[in-house]
Structure 1
Amino acid sequence: MAKLLQQRWVGNVDGGALSRRDRGSGVYRAYLPDPLAGRPIMLASETAADVADAEVAIARLDAEAKALVETETLSRLLLRAEAIASSRIEGLEIGARRLLRAEAARELEGEPSDVTAAEVLANIDAMAVATSANGPGEAVTEDALLEIHRRLLTGTRLAQHAGQLREEQNWIGGSSFNPCSAEFVPPPPEYVPELMRDLIDFCNRDDLPAVAQAAIAHAQFETIHPFADGNGRTGRALIHVVLRRRGAVERVVAPVSLILATWSDSYIDGLNRFRHIGRADSRQAVDDLNTWVARFAAACARAAGDATLFEAKAMELEQSWRARLAPVRANSALDLLLGKLVGAPILTVSTAASLTDRSFPAANTAVERLVAAGILRQLSVGRRNRVFESPEVISAFTALERRLASPGGDTRISAPERPVPRRPAR
């Protein structure tokens, strides 16, 4: 039975410059959730319908992306969007163009000088692990989650905690020095290993709709808060781990975190509702679980719908490029690069050669044709380490970010709920 555990915090009497409140001792209450094993999951008919709609939308995105745009290309761009959004929820903000340029710098120099961008790029690496960690029907493992977390924290100031379950109490909100005024205190560290084993077992069930299972797994993960830092991003990566295992998606990542960031108040309220006190089968607990699952399903449906619109825009761009460049010889470096450009809006000639599996000279010729047609523009000066940008792709991506940041799906009608790039100039 879920309950609050009364705990005592022993303060630091030698806290130096800390205030009396921050260095003092006190009492706090840590939340101990019910394990998911054996917990009755009763979905109301309306919630079940919302879940079914979300699964149809996700499946449509996955299928139409394969039919209309080279899947890996779209997936890479949506993965980037998802990673940016996951970081934004935790206060790490960075625009798409800045991130893309840092990614190019990493390719050329080994490590970008932009520290903030480097942390978001680590988030992208972790998300990439999440989307490929397991295939349909393959078991979710704790090692896979630890690897995602390790990649998130490697190279940051908290690298010593990477890939390790926490051994200390953590908390959300309130003072940075003690949990006595926190908004939420997760379970004490001694409960974490068993709760994680229970969560992994739940992720490997097959008796719930995939979206409902992902919703509950994500909420339980965020409730356990098993790491010293990086819980939010790892927990959102877990969403894709579950959906992929259940076969709900193959390669295309619907940017759910973009919607969760836009609906942040609803998101946080939904997580708090999920954290019931008392019996899991009480009417209030069941109602609150349904509230959370329905909100999560709505976020999935919205994310998939907006991503599908972007996918159509990507196809439109590629068709317009081919018309501008006609004739384009089939299977040439130019032909192959046109199919990859949406997923690589900022690239080098070396990147182009790798994406197309063609020689450097062939890729260079293709890039020069794209520059001459106004499809690419050179950012750096000189012949060596040249970087090129596709303004049309970045404009389309910016429009997607703005749409996903608006509660109503259009920033001209409802203002964005989080920082977004300016609307591209026409």
Structure 2
Amino acid sequence: MKRTDIGQYAVSIAGSESVRAFVPAPLPPEPQLQLEGTVRDALDRALLALGRLDGAAATLPDVHLLLYTYQRKEAVLSSQIEGTQSTLDDLLAHEIGEAAGVPLADVAEVSRYVAAMTHGLRRLREGFPLSNRLLREMHSILLESGRGAEKTPGEFRKSQNWIGGSRPGTAAFVPPPPQEVERCMSDLERFLHSNAPALVKAALAHVQFETIHPFLDGNGRIGRLLITLVLCHEGILREPLLYSSLYFKQHRQQYYAELNAVRESGDFERWLEFFATAIRVSADAATTTGRRIFTVFREDRDRLKGIGRQAPTALLIQEALQAKPLATIAALTEVTGLTTPTVTQSLRELEKLGIVRETTGKARGRVFTYARYLDALNAENEPKVG
């Protein structure tokens, strides 16, 4: 559905140029959303998929084992949309003090995303409201050092920004003038506290945030984090096990096209259908992956029980690697309480079975990865839309 009252343009100064900046109308859209037909079907299917994911999380032996890697996978994928080259393996290596295979700035950026996500979810669990203050806190963490640190972390912008193009005059889109940002974000905060259906609220909040583009940097990542925050805050997900950025990354051009369709014609229904499909496919993938990972855990335990005298210590190593699937011998010695020779011998047994893989090729300072776990985590193919 196309709308005429979607916002207005205002003249803004960006550098030495005068540009037309778009100021979106407050949510919810007027006239009201037409949630019927294919849009309703997409929303219903997404909610069912989220229910399956939440139900699966409740039945898995220890869902918190998945949170560590699921959250990091989302951080990697969301950051890749913005151009970083860091992989999940790079991030896990960085977190244990090992050199990653990409520039430090890339992997540090993803690490700060994890910290921002963790902070936001912890604040919500403590009863802090989903608010602009929380978004600013998360933004401050996201850009606290490295690239973007000079772009006023934790503060709404006081200058004009733009999306696409080498300068404002050639931009694909120019967000609201800086003097309108505070008001636009206050309107968005009010919508976050409205009684709109949770999935609709997450979808509209994301597109509105991206349109306002309230920060000088990091808007895409905070905007995608907002999706998870809304779904957890509204009780749709008890645990943040959704990595929707995989779908957005694999359908990047359509993702941007649907965001632009809202800004250009107010076609919120078209965006809702795309968003709901993204959530459904992502939730189903997360459910399947979780079950696959715990199948790997069970199969590996059964295989290790049959190796004889080394079985008890090898099982302790496997259990430690379930919590953090990349580790050094020193780290495994500390967490299990075993001696260095015992850990080393147990790792040899796990290597023989193809359960772990040594990643450095060095004689000293070796790093071991729970290969079957990470292979299962990364086993998704291109998501199917149908």
Mark yes or no: TM-score above 0.5.
yes
Asked whether the 8 Å contact 2:326–2:369 carries over to 1, the reply is yes
Structure 2 equivalent of residue 222 of structure 1: 210
Structure 2 equivalent of residue 415 of structure 1: none
Alignment of 1:19-34 (within 5 A): 25=17, 27-34=18-25
Structure 1 equivalent of residue 324 of structure 2: 344
- The secondary structure found in structure 1 opposite 2:97 is helix
Structure 2 equivalent of residue 388 of structure 1: 368
Asked whether the 8 Å contact 2:317–2:336 carries over to 1, the reply is no
Q: Give distance in 2, aligned partners of 1:64 and 1:299.
A: 19
Paired residue for 1:150, among 140, 143, 154? 140
CA RMSD, 1 decimal: 2.9
Q: Give distance in 2, aligned partners of 1:135 and 1:159.
A: 28
Structure 1 equivalent of residue 346 of structure 2: 369
Q: TM-score, normalised by structure 1?
A: 0.78
Structure 1 equivalent of residue 337 of structure 2: 360
Change (3 A) 1:28 1:93: same
Q: TM-score, normalised by structure 2?
A: 0.86
Q: Give distance in 1, aligned partners of 2:270 and 2:177.
A: 27
- The secondary structure found in structure 2 opposite 1:105 is coil
Paired residue for 1:295, among 274, 277, 285? 274
Asked whether the 8 Å contact 1:158–1:229 carries over to 2, the reply is yes
Q: Give distance in 2, aligned partners of 1:38 and 1:98.
A: 42
Structure 1 equivalent of residue 86 of structure 2: 94
Q: Give distance in 1, aligned partners of 2:315 and 2:30.
A: 54
Asked whether the 8 Å contact 2:313–2:346 carries over to 1, the reply is no
Deviations 1:93-129 (A, max 9, x none): 22222222222216xx9xx972221111112222222
Change (3 A) 1:42 1:113: closer
Q: Give distance in 2, aligned partners of 1:244 and 1:362.
A: 41
- The secondary structure found in structure 1 opposite 2:22 is strand
- The secondary structure found in structure 1 opposite 2:124 is coil
Change (3 A) 1:79 1:300: same
Identity across matched positions, percent? 32
Asked whether the 8 Å contact 1:73–1:341 carries over to 2, the reply is no
The amino acid of 2:81's aligned partner reads I
Structure 2 equivalent of residue 174 of structure 1: 165
- The secondary structure found in structure 1 opposite 2:114 is helix
Q: Give distance in 1, aligned partners of 2:54 and 2:247.
A: 18
Change (3 A) 1:97 1:53: same
Asked whether the 8 Å contact 1:57–1:304 carries over to 2, the reply is yes
Alignment of 1:225-264 (within 5 A): 225-264=213-252
Asked whether the 8 Å contact 2:317–2:346 carries over to 1, the reply is no
Q: Give distance in 2, aligned partners of 1:363 and 1:218.
A: 49
Structure 2 equivalent of residue 122 of structure 1: 112
Paired residue for 2:192, among 203, 214, 218? 203
Structure 2 equivalent of residue 62 of structure 1: 54
Structure 2: give runs of 5+ residues left out of the alignment.
none
* 1:4 matches 2:9: yes
Q: Give distance in 2, aligned partners of 1:70 and 1:371.
A: 27
Asked whether the 8 Å contact 2:23–2:176 carries over to 1, the reply is yes
Asked whether the 8 Å contact 1:350–1:360 carries over to 2, the reply is no
Stretch deviating more after TM superposition (54-63 or 160-169): 54-63
Asked whether the 8 Å contact 1:371–1:378 carries over to 2, the reply is no
- The secondary structure found in structure 1 opposite 2:19 is strand
Alignment of 1:246-285 (within 5 A): 246-276=234-264, 285=266
Asked whether the 8 Å contact 1:244–1:250 carries over to 2, the reply is yes
Deviation at 1:340, TM superposition (A): 5.6
The amino acid of 2:159's aligned partner reads E
- The secondary structure found in structure 1 opposite 2:68 is helix
- The secondary structure found in structure 2 opposite 1:317 is helix
Change (3 A) 1:52 1:150: same
Asked whether the 8 Å contact 2:357–2:370 carries over to 1, the reply is yes
Structure 1: give runs of 5+ residues left out of the alignment.
12-24, 278-284, 410-426
Change (3 A) 1:268 1:340: farther
Q: Give distance in 2, aligned partners of 1:137 and 1:38.
A: 29
The amino acid of 2:89's aligned partner reads R
Change (3 A) 1:370 1:116: same
Deviation at 1:37, TM superposition (A): 6.2
Deviation at 1:29, TM superposition (A): 1.1
- The secondary structure found in structure 1 opposite 2:11 is strand
- The secondary structure found in structure 2 opposite 1:133 is helix
Paired residue for 2:43, among 25, 42, 51? 51
The amino acid of 2:73's aligned partner reads A
Deviation at 1:195, TM superposition (A): 1.1
Change (3 A) 1:388 1:364: farther
Deviation at 1:194, TM superposition (A): 1.3
Deviation at 1:89, TM superposition (A): 0.9
Change (3 A) 1:263 1:195: same
- The secondary structure found in structure 1 opposite 2:120 is helix
